[in-house]
Structure 1
Amino acid sequence: MKGLRVLPGGRPGRGRLYVNLPDGRAVAWYDRQANRISILADDQREAILAVLRPYLSGTVTIGPPPVPTAADLAGLALPPDADLAPNRPGETLLGELEHGPAGTRARHRLRQDLLAQQRMGDTFDALEADGWRILHCVPVPGMGRIDHLLIGPAGIFCVRTVPGRRQRAVAGDLLLAVGRAEPRPDPRWTRRAAARATRALTAQVTPALAVVDASRVEVAPTLRDIRVLQPPTATTDLTSSPTALKPPDIETLFTLARDTRTWLGPNAGRSSPAWGSPRTESGGV
């Protein structure tokens, strides 16, 4: 049938591909992760396969849509402007670079933060093949945004990303120092953010620090409540951890977490004071 259009859903290259009629109605979708085509209009099967053929790889399963779970139905009912799932790593920093400070030093720091979040985000996104669900740039009132929220078999992790700048990084109980720069309160920040996420999701969230491109990372022996992750071993560290969540729980928590109203609702974080912008904190906080 002429006029069928293929439109992406979710993050570029990772979400579903929808096949729509000219009036916008979906007649099929291709789930890249499951490598499955779900067809809603069987009389248009050949036309649907023809327009999707350039996007397919490997052995593809074709059939009617699977019976939706409660999490699926909740996700379908989510307004597009309330959905965090399409967020790319470092999404908000792109806007800050475009409209933010004009100073060369400030822009350089923003660019370092952006590159670190993008690299770590790509690393975390690769976990989706192992049953993980990933969100980026999750808003937390008064604290800025959680860089990455990971929901998977090993549990839920609130990740703060720090550029190592090819220098020695030292993570302590309260501060993290990179090279000779003034130490930053990243450990304290990610603890607070994880506590807020625990309340929002009513499930235990583990704080984590992702240190990118450091020459070496030293972790204080007393720092036991925060996971310290580094590429390229971060995914192995997480996938080798003991199982804490089953697939249905992962999907339910992901559906809750992707809704901005979970984080920005009237009761979100009401018991925690604001810490200000997460990228402008100083070691004296």
Structure 2
Amino acid sequence: MRGLRVLPSGRPGRGRLYVNLPDGQAVAWYDRQTNRISVLADQHREAVVAALRPYIAGPFTVGPPPVPTPADLRRLALAPDEDLAPNRPGELLLGELEHGSAGTRTRHRLRQDLTAQQRMGELLDSLEPEGWRVLHGVPLPGLGPIDHLLMGPAGIFCVRTLPGRRQRAAVGDLLMTVGRAEPRPDPRWIRRAAAAATRALAAPVQPALALVDASRVDVAPTVRDIRILEPATAAAHLASAPTTLKPPDTEALFTQARDTRTWLPPLPHRPRSRSFTARRPRNGR
């Protein structure tokens, strides 16, 4: 059958590949970890295998899918243009650089921001085997996009990424500076973004600032609510954090967050999202 589209469920090379009809309806998916093709409509079996063959490595099995979870059903009903999962790190900046009309200095700053987002995004993507899921370029009406939304064992993090430019960065309660540049209101912005994400997901979201290539990061002792991440230590920092989310809750939250409709302003007829309560660590921290 012609017109079948193969779309990733997450970052390229990870997660599932979904096979959709031209109207966006999913008819099958390929699980890379188990090398199994789950076919929803048997009449498309041969066409599905043909469409997926370039992506399959080694022997594979084909059959009906397992009994779907509620998260599976919601993901299967998600139209491609409403799915945030395929977004690449810094994709919005790429579009601005390719099609925008900014001046030379602004374009230089955008390239620095893009490089930082790509580097941090690739690092966060690499955490998926440890039970983390990540989205890039999540839209927040009225605030602008969240660079990265990270969900996993230690909870949910709303991450704003900034280039350190090999200079000293200082993070305060309200402002932060990099080198001798003008102070920026990023601490205030990330708190507001995390609060908006908490309302949208009905689950606690923590604010985080990611500093890429800073020579040194000084954080004011009064800044206790914002996580500070750096590429060299972020993975170890997150791995050592207390576990607050179980894998099924992480998957359900990821399915909810990847839907662009989750981030639209609330409407009176829209049902409320399921609320997730993070488990309190035993040590009380």
Same fold (TM over 0.5): yes
1:82 matched to 2:82? The reply is yes
One-letter code aligned to 2:7:
P
1:131 matched to 2:123? The reply is no
Deviations 1:11-43 (A, max 9, x none): 433353345799998664322255443245779
Question: 1:112 corresponds to which residue?
Answer: 112
Pick closer, same or farther for the CA change 1:53–1:262 going to 2, 3 Å. closer
- Aligned mates of 2:141, 2:250 — CA distance in 1: 24
Deviations 1:63-107 (A, max 9, x none): 531211001111111222222112111111111112324311000
Question: 1:7 corresponds to which residue?
Answer: 6
Q: Which moved more, 1:173-182 or 1:213-222?
A: 213-222
**What TM-score does the superposition give when structure 1 sets the normalisation length?**
0.82
**What TM-score does the superposition give when structure 2 sets the normalisation length?**
0.82
Question: 1:174 corresponds to which residue?
Answer: 174
Matches within 5 A, 1:85-164: 85-164=85-164
What is the CA distance between 1:57 and its match in structure 2? 4.5
Percent sequence identity is 73
Q: Which moved more, 1:4-13 or 1:212-221?
A: 4-13
Question: 1:278 corresponds to which residue?
Answer: none
Task: Supply the RMSD in Å over aligned alpha carbons.
Answer: 2.9
One-letter code aligned to 2:29:
W
Pick closer, same or farther for the CA change 1:100–1:8 going to 2, 3 Å. same
Pick closer, same or farther for the CA change 1:227–1:110 going to 2, 3 Å. same
Question: 1:248 corresponds to which residue?
Answer: 248
Q: Which moved more, 1:50-59 or 1:132-141?
A: 50-59
CA contact (8 A) 2:6 2:52 kept: no
1:194 matched to 2:202? The reply is no
What is the CA distance between 1:184 and its match in structure 2? 0.7
| SS of residue matched to 1:265 | coil
Question: 1:234 corresponds to which residue?
Answer: 234
Pick closer, same or farther for the CA change 1:188–1:148 going to 2, 3 Å. same
| SS of residue matched to 1:140 | coil
Pick closer, same or farther for the CA change 1:102–1:49 going to 2, 3 Å. closer
Pick closer, same or farther for the CA change 1:149–1:21 going to 2, 3 Å. closer
- Aligned mates of 2:206, 2:20 — CA distance in 1: 40
Q: Which moved more, 1:24-33 or 1:178-187?
A: 24-33
CA contact (8 A) 2:24 2:79 kept: no
One-letter code aligned to 2:93:
L
- Aligned mates of 1:143, 1:132 — CA distance in 2: 25
- Aligned mates of 1:197, 1:205 — CA distance in 2: 6
Pick closer, same or farther for the CA change 1:248–1:211 going to 2, 3 Å. same
Pick closer, same or farther for the CA change 1:179–1:255 going to 2, 3 Å. same
Question: 1:220 corresponds to which residue?
Answer: 220
Pick closer, same or farther for the CA change 1:249–1:21 going to 2, 3 Å. closer
| SS of residue matched to 2:127 | helix
CA contact (8 A) 1:167 1:214 kept: yes
Pick closer, same or farther for the CA change 1:98–1:62 going to 2, 3 Å. same
